Amino acid sequence: MEPTDDRRAFGDRVRELRREKGFSSQEAFAHHVGLDRTYVSGIETGRRNPTFDIIMKLAHALEVRPAELLDTLD
């Protein structure tokens, strides 16, 4: 799937928060959140279109409020 600007911005935010929370590798974070590593990679590069439920799962795993995942988007 081709990335969009919004999905790229979302992916960048997920990567930023992942690193902030100490998950230096996508592998470790994917294991923690219960998703496949390639899916996490796809989200972070804007090539995946995650559902609301997945966005909630990411927020809970990153221990941030869900709105924080979208706060770089206009």
Residue ranges in contact with a second copy by CB under 8 A: 4, 6-7, 10, 49-53, 55-56, 59, 65-71, 73-74
> How far from the centroid of its chain's Cα atoms is residue 32's Cα?
12
Q: How far is the CB of 25 from a second copy (least distance, A)?
A: 23
Q: Which is nearer to a second copy, 24 or 73 (CB)?
A: 73
Cα distance between residue 69 and residue 73, in whole Å: 9
Tokens read off for 61: 């795993």
Cα distance between residue 59 and residue 13, in whole Å: 11
Q: How far is the CB of 52 from a second copy (least distance, A)?
A: 5
Q: Which is nearer to a second copy, 16 or 28 (CB)?
A: 16
Q: Which is nearer to a second copy, 24 or 67 (CB)?
A: 67
Nearest to 50 by CA among 35, 68, 29: 35
